[in-house]
Structure formats: structure tokens, C-alpha cells
Structure 1
């Protein structure tokens, strides 16, 4: 499979990359464990949403449910979030993540054809997933359709320099495919406003700058392995990579990775 197409190939996403929560969790844990920003990212994101009691809330592409697990103690009264994912396995992981909390409901569906009526939700989240959708404009129209007038979309993504050091490391050891998936080229912080303004009048990009200082080798290797199908990681290359990372940690205390990410709000 052409790995440029892999990032939006629905069968690959459902049956390989996101069949379970393992790959996504490996990436979340690298950020959670080695972030140098004292602000917890998903708590910061929650603060941008201004969720109120009684609001109708939908998350499209809920992943492992980490956003909600992080903010469970902060949920307003009478909030009943609906969580949706393309992968049934991922939706099951999200259900377990919120400890079977009965305030949540779960379903599987395609973001390009949401199974809800018009003007249903006050807030819709679609974080780090629009670059996976084959027809992004169609998905954006669907997100707009299910929002009430004045409702707000949160569609977080990354910037062009996101984890540049890791990409350079992959290049150093020839672990990238000849054609590298361009996530932010499909939907990133820079082009998000032009993409979303086709359906929304207002778009606001709020950056969240951070740095990872990775002091253990295995979590970084797990992250790289989690990109199965997108990065080439032959077994004979792993030993050299591990030696390089371990030397970096021993001599510098850790491996620095700059994060370029943020929330994109549209209404």
C-alpha cells in the first residue's frame, strides 16, 4: 500500500493502525511521561471549550478516550457526551477508559456520514483525526451540519515543525519510506483556517507549545513501532537506533523533541 494513502485508508485505519488502542496509547504515553510543560495538555484543551451543564457534546474520532478520562472530575452536571470512532475496537477502549461511566454513550461511524440529525450538538470535538479522512471537506460539512447555530467545533491538530527531531532521527537511520505521510499537509495548524472556513464563519487557532525530554529508550522505540505501516522499521535497524538513543541519553541526559500542536476552534 502506498503509505501516502495509508493515512486516509479506512481499512488500514480500522484493521491495523487503530484496531486496538495500543498504537495510539504508545504515542499518548510518550507525551504524558516526558512533557516539560507543567500544564496537562488535555486539561488545557478542556479549558478552551467552556463546557456548560446540559450541553449536547459529540466527539468524532474519540480514540482511547484519554481526553475524557483526564477530565472526568471536571465534567459539568448533566453532561452526556457521545463518543464516536471509526474503529469498534477503539470505541471499546474508550468505554473502558472512562470506567464504564454511564454518562457516556458510544457508537461507530464514519465522520463523512454522521448518524445524527441536523443541529443536534452544542460542541463537537474532532481532534487529531481530520487528516485521516479521505474527503476532508465532506467531513467538515458533516461536523457543521450536526452543530446548532452558534455551536462550536474543536478540531485540534499539529504544526509543520511537530516532532521534527524524531523525523530527523528516522531519516538518519533510513527508517522512513520514500514517500512520507504528510499529516499536516492534509490538515494542520497552518491550513486549518482555510479548510474550515468553507463551512464556518470564524476560526481561531490556539497554539500549545511544549517540549519532550525523553530519558528512557523503550518508550521512544514503542512510539516508532506504533507508526506501523507509515514508517519502515526493519528489525536489523532497531539495534543501531537503540544504541544512538541510549548514547544521547547518557551524554545529554535525554533526547529533546519539540512539540508544535494546538486547538483549532470554529463556529
Structure 2
């Protein structure tokens, strides 16, 4: 049996359910940038040859609004992996992924990011969208990404900075729902270039996703903070969130503004 090396928090959050990830992704509904995060990320993913996404989650990168069928033509295969059986089940039943499977070879496989079950030099592109901070040893994962890439192949990695969602987690810290990843992550937007180059990638580029999140009420904040834990918050803590966010909404004209620090890194295997 393959040993899964995602850290304990990630296993608790994602192994048996995709609901918590879906709840957190809903914050993107309040993005002020002209493109969604997934549309932005797709502009950096080459649309040719064989593509591997490691930690594909719920498959949000491959929904039609981010990845229209017109971009499929030169892609020879798409492989989506995740360490979580629940995520793989979600991917296997997702209507958009099923539609893609009728247009090009799409493989869904459960596996560990630090021990990919693919031969060396298999893929033209490897994508890791907001997943490396869930891995206990990101350098091992990056080395695996390099191993399975062909010479000249492209790496696309998305990571958050330490101040990502600062205002949201300031509220969370008041009720015991601070940023777990902030304390656990061994790779962030701040040190990513160093780690990507350390394993031998070249031509590292860095692009920050513009804009902020403007949340129009308390409910999305409650749902996000609920998703951070294993169970929903107690009513007393929910009341604290309602009060603090409500005061902010009153001060800022009906918006709870949340800063984002989402960065997309690209690199090339020599």
C-alpha cells in the first residue's frame, strides 16, 4: 500500500470528503479581478501535449468557464491525481470531467505527490494548484514533478503568501479558527522560487493574482471558518463572527474586504 505523506491536517480535511474544499473555494465567488482564479491559472498552462495535475481536488481547473473545449485540440492527454479517495470519487463523477473524457484521454488516479506512479519523462506539463503546502516535504514532491516531466517541460505551481486572507483569519483567530496552513506550510509564495530552483528547475517566473475578495455579508465568512475545522463552530463563536464582521460591513459600506496573496509560478525542466 502506498504511504500518503500529506500532513495530518490535510488527511483529516480531505481524505473522506470534498465538501470542505468546496466550501473554501466558494470565497472565489467574491473575487474582484476580471478573471476568476482558475481562468487566470489556465492562461499559464500550455494547451498541448500531455498534462498532469497533481492534487486536482474537485477538478475546478477543468470546468468549462476556465477550460473551454476550444482549448482541447492540441492536448494529447490529461491526468488528474489526488491523494484523497473522496477527491478522486468527485473527479470521476463530475459532469465536466466526464465530458472531457469524451473528447480526449483523461485518467484519474489516487496517488502520493512525493511518489508519482509514472515513468520518468512522461509529461509535457505538470500542474500543482494550491496543494504543495499540504505535503510534508515539498522538495521531494518538486523533485518528482521534475522527474516525470520531459526535458523542456513546464511546471505550473500555485501557492499563497503568508498574509493570504489576512482579514478573514484575524476574525478566525478570535474563535479558534486561525490559518492552520500558515503554521504548517513548508513552502509558501515567499520561499517558492528558492525551493523550485533548488531541485533544478530553470526560468522561474512569478505572477500575482490581482484584486481582492469583497464579501457582501456574514454568511460566507461563517461557512469558510466552519470549513477550517472538523466540525462547525459552536453558536457562541458564530455570534462573535457575526458581531465582528457585521461591524466591518457597517464601516466599509456593506463589504467585508479580504486581501488575497495568490501567486502562480512557472518553471522549465532543463
Q: TM-score, normalized by length of structure 2? A: 0.86
* 1:1-267 alignment runs, 5 A limit: 8-10=6-8, 12-31=9-28, 33-52=29-48, 55-69=49-63, 70-77=66-73, 79=75, 80-97=77-94, 98-101=96-99, 102=101, 103=104, 104-171=106-173, 173-176=174-177, 180-182=180-182, 186-199=186-199, 200-228=201-229, 233-251=233-251, 252-267=253-268
> Could you tell me whether the CA contact under 8 Å between 2:55 and 2:128 is conserved in 1?
yes
| Equivalent pairs, count | 254
1:237 CA drift (Å):
1.0
> d(CA) in 1 for partners of 2:235 and 2:14?
19
CA deviation digits over 1:81-125, x for unaligned, max 9?
100000011012123332413132100000010000000000000
> Could you tell me whether the CA contact under 8 Å between 2:83 and 2:110 is conserved in 1?
yes
- The alignment partner of 1:238 has SS state of helix
> d(CA) in 2 for partners of 1:14 and 1:167?
21
> d(CA) in 2 for partners of 1:74 and 1:257?
34
> d(CA) in 1 for partners of 2:132 and 2:156?
11
Q: TM-score, normalized by length of structure 1? A: 0.86
> d(CA) in 2 for partners of 1:224 and 1:94?
25
Partner residue in 2 for 1:3: none
> Could you tell me whether the CA contact under 8 Å between 2:177 and 2:229 is conserved in 1?
no
> d(CA) in 2 for partners of 1:27 and 1:154?
22
Instruction: Report the RMSD for the aligned CA atoms in angstroms.
Output: 2.3
CA deviation digits over 1:208-259, x for unaligned, max 9?
1221110022121111111115x99444211121233234334521100011
Change (3 A) 1:183 1:142: farther
1:147 CA drift (Å):
0.1
**61-70 vs 202-211, which deviates more?**
202-211
> Could you tell me whether the CA contact under 8 Å between 2:175 and 2:240 is conserved in 1?
no
> Could you tell me whether the CA contact under 8 Å between 2:162 and 2:182 is conserved in 1?
no
> Could you tell me whether the CA contact under 8 Å between 2:168 and 2:221 is conserved in 1?
no
> d(CA) in 1 for partners of 2:27 and 2:83?
24
> Could you tell me whether the CA contact under 8 Å between 1:207 and 1:260 is conserved in 2?
yes
1:16 CA drift (Å):
3.5
